Chain A
């Protein structure tokens, strides 16, 4: 056995000589077989060597669980070499998941009470590495005793073990709380460091401990001050800074103690300023301490001057040539930008510089920070920079950059034209990375800027002529060309160079988009509808367009096919309605389900009216009862239009777009009903864009002493009118002139016939239920002419 067992060095030599993975595996397997045999036979003299080899194999990734029991045996042996390897093995092979780990608890206990420093050290080390919750609970008293041992080495290890125990079993904090205060007075830096860590852990886990330890803030301040002020002892100095690790740890603890606590923060203020000014930042160690100071200042309730100091330190970091320092500066500035916006603004040029970094983590941080720094005064320059960045940045940052630019443009755009230009530029550079609603937003924006129609359609046309691969751009351009094609052909526009565009060229371009394999189905839909709209806008004959429609009438894509068939129908059977159907779209408002539909083609406008009648569904049944009182049933717009809308309905529903009522020449209000203090008044509005539409607001006010409850108002109109009753604001009219109840009526009067209304009211008033029916014939002439 002895002859074939290698020393660890030799084993390693063999493994290194193995040329392939398979050879290495062979060597290790052979050796493991030997080791297993040796464990079985129990060779006490060399078992530590075997275990060492096994541990090496384990580090390389080979299974080594059969060594666990051997670890236990070695730990129990009295020889130090055995113990050493045994504990090492325990640390590597045993963890909470193995059942065997509890077995070493006893050995550890014995070793801890032995009194030999090195052994105690080993035991503590192992305990702190792999101690499970049960082990910690069992051995906590032992460890606490060792905290007071005369030997500094043991005390240091005991403190570190205590840290681990607190992490595993927070309830043990009661045991470890009392010795902490005393340990803080230690001279030995190692123990001090361990104690500070221990206190940090205790404070993080229990608010009671946090309160308890606020008392030691002065002590910590004093310790840190001596560290900073006294010259560095060679024992603890790292590149000119005395024990930066201890400094950083104390600063972290001060941060936790000072958070949200005025008093402690005040005690720390001077010290933090002192540390910040005295630390030499030319080497990494000093920078680390400064960074931690900045983090602490940001977190506690510090004075304003201190915060400015912190931002300035970060600004200095940004100018440093070392990339690591710039990275941490950017990260912290990002956290600060919410609270100290103006202070961070001063460093904006440097941040923008960092955008040009070749390093991906730096440029990402710089991008986020730049986007956060955009405001109305610097939006033009910042967007310029960001667009430059967009052109050259790596693909994973493009989406963020593009949406960031679009968002900033939306919030701070100085003029509409600039806004449109910016979005256009983003679409041409990074079109495939923008979010889906960018198209809708842009369309809505262009639609709203009437004076810029000619300009935008020209820009978009030129962009499209160059490149039809960026889908969002193509979609917007197709829509614009369709809507404003006549402006494109006019040839005059002050804001861009004159562009002579022939009709055929425009049609050819749209056909190219339709046929291109790069176009998405949605894009094709846009192009098809644009072609259709151009049939009314352009003056040439429409044969070409008709041809396209008939071709696509048998397209594979169902959506395109449906559209083409409907447009064909428009050409053939309903040509007289074509102009009206395809006229320019009115401006749609943002927000609300109707709007997103309106941003697409006019075909879907027919389904728009679906949205409006929905709130009036409940009124439908009651209204139907009322209808037989009038001459013949009146049409309600509540029947949902058929799935294939006939053009007649299309026309009416097209005009039925919901829009906020705009005041035109005011029509006087009409009081139609009064009884026992309850009054009903009608106010009229004729929106200027739609000549046949009348909006009536019914207002119910109550000046009596009692509330009117369960108030329901129903209206009927003669046969040729269309009525929509929207939901009332409430069904209770409070007494003594309380908040009046309002209800909106929309009446369409295509024939301009005189308007009559029949109203039916039901409500409860003074404990009685009342029902009233009356006609209103004296409506002012302006309401229906």
Chain B
């Protein structure tokens, strides 16, 4: 089960966030900063799956943007990894060469996101 989906840039600003379980608003920012800190501290040498509290984080870096998905134990990590890439490809198609600016400006990204993420919830 996917717990949350975040798109955060290197400075820690959240461009897109979606939580599939209820998390308080103030706890969200805390969660996001912690998650981005652990992702930023990884070098290129390390693998993309981190264990964080009681779930796993799967992250992928695209230029200055990190896409992080939090899942519980039952998910196939590599399938999620592939899925992140699929999502970015969709955005790429829609915006024809997507960039972070597009993501931050366009709230319809949210819509694209919701329709394509209905896969497993």
- Interface residues of A, Cβ cutoff 8 Å to B: 8-9, 12, 16, 52, 55-56, 59-61, 63, 84, 88, 91-92, 95, 97, 121, 125, 128-129, 157, 160, 163-164, 167, 193, 197, 238, 244-245, 248-249, 252, 284-285, 287-288, 291-292, 295, 322-328, 358-362
Contacts and interface: CB of A to CB of B under 8 A. Distances in A.
Given A193-B119, A291-B76, A84 B111 contact: yes
Nearest to A358: B45
A97 B24 CA distance: 12
Interface string B21-52: 01001001100000000000011011111110
A56 B16 CA distance: 10
Contact of B50 (A61, A295, A361): A361
B47 A359 contact: yes
A585 to B, nearest CB: 46
Given A61-B28, A129-B114, A358 B81 contact: no
Contacts of A359: 42, 45-47
Contacts of A97: 22
B61 interface: no
Interface string B74-117: 00111101110110000000000000000011010011001100
5 contacts: A61-B25, A197-B119, A245-B83, A248-B79, A328-B77
A49 to B, nearest CB: 11
Contact of A160 (B42, B43, B118): B118
Contact of A9 (B48, B105, B114): B105
B46 A323 contact: yes
Contacts of A327: 47, 49, 77
Interface residues of B, number: 36
A129 B2 CA distance: 13
A328 B78 contact: yes
Contact of B46 (A60, A328, A358): A358
Contacts of A56: 107
Given A52-B107, A61-B28, A292-B79, 7 more contacts: A61-B25, A245-B119, A288-B78, A361-B49, A361-B51, A362-B46, A362-B47
Nearest to A326: B47
Given A129-B114, A324-B47, A288 B86 contact: no
Given A59-B16, A324-B81, A12 B105 contact: yes
A288 B47 contact: no
Contact of A61 (B29, B42, B118): B29
Contacts of A285: 82
A125 B47 contact: no
Contact of B82 (A88, A197, A288, A295): A288
A550 B69 CA distance: 67
B118 A88 contact: no
Which residue of B17, B46, B118 has the most chain A CB atoms within 10 A of its CB atom? B118
Contact of B115 (A125, A328, A361): A125
Report, nearest first, the 4 A-B pairs whose CB atoms are least far apart.
Answer: A323-B47, A288-B78, A359-B46, A160-B118
A8 B104 CA distance: 11
A55 B16 CA distance: 12
Contacts of A326: 47
Interface in B1-22: 14, 16-17, 22
A432 B76 CA distance: 38
Nearest to A295: B76
Contacts of B22: 95, 97
A362 B121 CA distance: 28
Given A59-B16, A361-B51, A325 B78 contact: yes
A16 B115 CA distance: 28
A324 B48 contact: yes
